[in-house]
Chain A
């Protein structure tokens, strides 16, 4: 069955770099797009970016200078790297699969706290 699972450090110091991994199963990264969406505590959803099935990427403009999304298809993993973290980057980070049928599968999310 289709699964996505995020992993990464729960705590990051301000100005440091965040590295998250999304490990997928049940589908191929060359067939589906994988997105990253984040949610600050008690707030709504923010689309961060995508790695398309062809390996190209797209980013939300405010995050683009700091954000990079890549993948390793042999390991079925998608990576998010974001630098210069600030406290407002605190929140739950989700990876999800998208098809023309919408965001059809989501990971459980990983909580990231930016604090010294």
Chain B
């Protein structure tokens, strides 16, 4: 199974600050079609997860452009510019290149 390692496990931030979250996979996430199925999700407190970014760098519908994703092969990063209160929660990376699909352990974003 592909192991997804997220760091850091938690982040304490001030509103307006920028932060980055790392996600590393144990195998390349490039699929046979040439695409990379690495996604980022946010789970706000008490809510279901929701998609933020799909295929490394594409913003989901309605997601503000303060969010951006970069990376390739096995090394990926989510960046949040100018954190707002609504951004707090747990961020997960997820890969859907290899079955079984797997998630990172999560990064909890909290207010400083």
B103 adjacent to chain A (CB < 8 Å) = yes
In the bound complex, residues from chain A placing their C-beta under 8 Å from that of B60 are: 101-102, 104
Are B39 and A47 in contact, CB atoms less than 8 angstroms apart? Answer: no
Could you list which residues of chain A lie within 8 angstroms of chain B, going by C-beta atoms? Answer: 35, 37, 44-47, 50, 58-61, 94, 98, 100-104, 106-109
In the complex, identify which listed stretch (B10-18, B21-29, B45-53, B77-85) lies at the interface while the others stay far away.
B45-53
Q: A44-B92, A44-B106, A45-B92 are in contact. Are A103 and B100 (CB under 8 A)?
A: no
Having A45-B94, A60-B100, A104-B60, one finds 4 other A-B pairs with CB under 8 Å, namely A44-B104, A44-B105, A103-B96, A106-B50
Interface centre among A45, A58, A104 (most CB of B within 10 A): A45
Are A101 and B49 in contact, CB atoms less than 8 angstroms apart? Answer: no
> Which residue of the partner chain B has the closest CB to A92?
B48
B35 adjacent to chain A (CB < 8 Å) = yes
Are B49 and A103 in contact, CB atoms less than 8 angstroms apart? Answer: yes
Are A94 and B37 in contact, CB atoms less than 8 angstroms apart? Answer: no
Are A47 and B92 in contact, CB atoms less than 8 angstroms apart? Answer: no
Name the interface residues of B59-112: CB closer than 8 Å to any CB of A: 60, 90, 92, 94, 96, 99-106
CB within 8 A of B55: which of A44, A45, A58, A100? Answer: A100
* CA–CA, A103 and B51, complex, Å: 6
CB within 8 A of A94: which of B49, B51, B90, B101? Answer: B49
